[in-house]
A and B are shown apart, each in its own frame.
Chain A
């Protein structure tokens, strides 16, 4: 069963470091393509680190591996991903007259899938 979560894309120091090493390096791609989920939600949903998660909303869909976030960092119900290609695929084209699409705090649904997209 899919559930609705709030996704917060953001910057991490690993993302910044690996970005400089190169946008096509394994380190950068791994960092921007990994979804962090709170330990409580990982346990409740019976997800394991590395499981592929389909995440979607009205505007797009991505499949990314997940990992448990650091204890306390994320409250249950919230997801984190490093800002980049994958997070941007879930943004709408509409900016509500500001020029800025909703890029943080987006409602998304997630479910475990068997294979990457």
Chain B
């Protein structure tokens, strides 16, 4: 049971006291760590305490309350869910080149329906993966992925390389719960049994937690990884060129590579410092290849550090349903994959998409200017628990409940492990799943019955 009886309360004015409950084993969906050991103290519609949560998780839980917004807005005017569903179905059915985008902050159940809608209307489906670890997805197809779970890292990894990320700030419990600090089955002394290296252009808070910081020059991660591959294989390298390009001396680099080869179980946890920088998928490819090569000597793995709570679920769901993780075109009745062509940032920046279905994402705040300009011009249907710049320009904006806080479902942790959600309190707003299901139903009625309800 996830819900336990509340502790006994002092007697007070009973009519005014909201229901108090404690939800154990709740799941935080703010970041890809998806910590499922939360203990939430809930009073009515407010989470009062989030035990075990990090600073980000606390902010996630404690700031979620029921918004005072209409359930839907059509062209700036409050509307009912029914009206908004009708208008959304009409926009999506009539579009010639629609895109579905977002999906990393909703449940797998909702993601499935979003893919189904894209299929029925012959549109493109893309997720926020395309602007986070999309390049790593391309790299997996090129060189494969020697993978592992966070549990294996906790229990086995005696050498950990964090590359192009700052988990101390972006995934605060990664160090303590999964990677650096915990005592594991084969690492009884926890941190003392592990060596940690940070490879990053900045000396971030994460550098303080590592034993070694290789402060690589910006835009030279590929060269660094390639040099490490060569050193690992004993290939002669040009010392001066490596130092000049990467800023790291050959001696220091050799020390790290030898340490990696001597480890029992190693993992490279890589972030968007690789994927967002020039070279992109080639940077990820170089790091994945390094991990693969090291398996000649000992056990090495590599995993991307994923950001949003269910971005990994989005990759999984979209892949089961179409065969590809993002940047998919369904307009010919079968899936085709082409990043750069059917990825949302490109479809919008080139002015090609004529309608958009956006779920739990805010591209109007984080896409390039030409992409934003085009999105603001076309019809869009936006689902979001909170007001956003994207919701402001939407033709139809739905207010939704929040996954993990108000609605149950499944999310995938960054290591592809599915985890159930245990909600804290009900919301008067519908979930993404319910709204998408209703839009899908209405689209099918239009397609099958010429618009008549069945």
In whole angstroms, what is the CA distance A19 to B336 when docked? 35
A6 at the interface (CB under 8 A from B): yes
Residue of B276, B339, B365 touching A85 (CB-CB under 8 A) = B365
Given contacts A17-B55, A72-B203, A101-B368, contact A96 B340 (CB under 8 A): yes
Given contacts A60-B369, A85-B365, A89-B369, contact A99 B343 (CB under 8 A): yes
Q: In whole Å, how far is A108's beta carbon from the nearest beta carbon of chain B?
A: 12
- CB–CB B369/A98 < 8 A: no
Instruction: Give every chain B residue within 8 A of A104 (Cβ-Cβ).
Output: 272-273, 276-277
- CB–CB B218/A8 < 8 A: yes
Residue of B126, B169, B278, B350 touching A93 (CB-CB under 8 A) = B350
Q: Mark A73-92, 1 if CB is under 8 A from B, else 0.
A: 11100101001110011011
- CB–CB B130/A99 < 8 A: yes
A10 at the interface (CB under 8 A from B): yes
Instruction: Give every chain B residue within 8 A of A30 (Cβ-Cβ).
Output: none
- CB–CB B345/A11 < 8 A: no
Instruction: Give every chain B residue within 8 A of A97 (Cβ-Cβ).
Output: 339-341
Q: In whole Å, how far is A18's beta carbon from the nearest beta carbon of chain B?
A: 8
Residue of B63, B126, B389 touching A22 (CB-CB under 8 A) = B63
Q: In whole Å, how far is B221's beta carbon from the nearest beta carbon of chain A?
A: 9
- CB–CB B365/A101 < 8 A: no
- CB–CB A92/B368 < 8 A: yes
In whole angstroms, what is the CA distance A6 to B168 when docked? 23
B286 at the interface (CB under 8 A from A): no
A21 — nearest CB in chain B belongs to which residue? Answer: B63
Q: Mark B363-374, 1 if CB is under 8 A from A, else 0.
A: 001111111000
A50 at the interface (CB under 8 A from B): no
Q: In whole Å, how far is A10's beta carbon from the nearest beta carbon of chain B?
A: 6
Output the residue of A59, A93, A98 with the most chain B CB within 10 A.
A98
B363 — nearest CB in chain A belongs to which residue? Answer: A88
- CB–CB B56/A100 < 8 A: no
Instruction: Give every chain B residue within 8 A of A13 (Cβ-Cβ).
Output: 55-56, 168-170, 172
- CB–CB A73/B204 < 8 A: yes
How many chain A residues touch B (Cβ–Cβ < 8 Å)?
A: 43
Classify the secondary structure of A's interface with B.
loop
Instruction: Give every chain B residue within 8 A of A49 (Cβ-Cβ).
Output: none
- CB–CB B280/A16 < 8 A: no
Size category of the binding interface on chain B: 35 or more
B196 at the interface (CB under 8 A from A): no
B134 at the interface (CB under 8 A from A): yes
B347 — nearest CB in chain A belongs to which residue? Answer: A99
Residue of A8, A16, A74, A95 touching B30 (CB-CB under 8 A) = A16
Q: In whole Å, how far is A91's beta carbon from the nearest beta carbon of chain B?
A: 4
Q: Mark A7-41, 1 if CB is under 8 A from B, else 0.
A: 01011110011111111100000000000000000
- CB–CB B368/A105 < 8 A: no
Given contacts A16-B169, A104-B272, contact A21 B346 (CB under 8 A): no
In whole angstroms, what is the CA distance A95 to B387 when docked? 28
Name the interface residues of B267-293: CB closer than 8 Å to any CB of A.
272-273, 275-278, 280-281
- CB–CB A99/B278 < 8 A: no
- CB–CB A98/B280 < 8 A: yes
- CB–CB B169/A88 < 8 A: no
Name the interface residues of B123-164: CB closer than 8 Å to any CB of A.
126, 130-131, 134-135, 138
- CB–CB A6/B218 < 8 A: yes
Given contacts A22-B63, A105-B219, contact A96 B169 (CB under 8 A): no
- CB–CB A98/B339 < 8 A: yes
Given contacts A96-B340, A99-B126, contact A75 B131 (CB under 8 A): no
- CB–CB A100/B345 < 8 A: yes
- CB–CB A21/B59 < 8 A: yes
A48 at the interface (CB under 8 A from B): no
- CB–CB B366/A85 < 8 A: yes
In whole angstroms, what is the CA distance A23 to B392 when docked? 13
B202 at the interface (CB under 8 A from A): yes
For the complex of A and B, list the 6 residue pairs with the smallest distance between their C-beta atoms, beginning with the closest. A99-B343, A93-B349, A97-B340, A20-B59, A99-B130, A99-B339
Can you list 11 pairs linking A and B with CB atoms under 8 Å apart? A10-B166, A13-B55, A13-B170, A21-B59, A22-B63, A72-B203, A85-B389, A93-B345, A97-B339, A98-B134, A101-B368
| B residues in contact (CB < 8 Å) with A | 30-31, 55-56, 59-60, 63-64, 126, 130-131, 134-135, 138, 166, 168-170, 172, 201-204, 215, 218-219, 272-273, 275-278, 280-281, 307, 326-327, 339-341, 343-346, 349-350, 362, 365-371, 386-389
* Extra 14 A-B pairs, beta carbons < 8 Å, given A95-B346, A98-B135, A104-B276: A10-B202, A16-B169, A16-B170, A23-B388, A59-B368, A60-B369, A85-B389, A88-B365, A93-B368, A93-B371, A99-B130, A99-B340, A100-B134, A105-B278
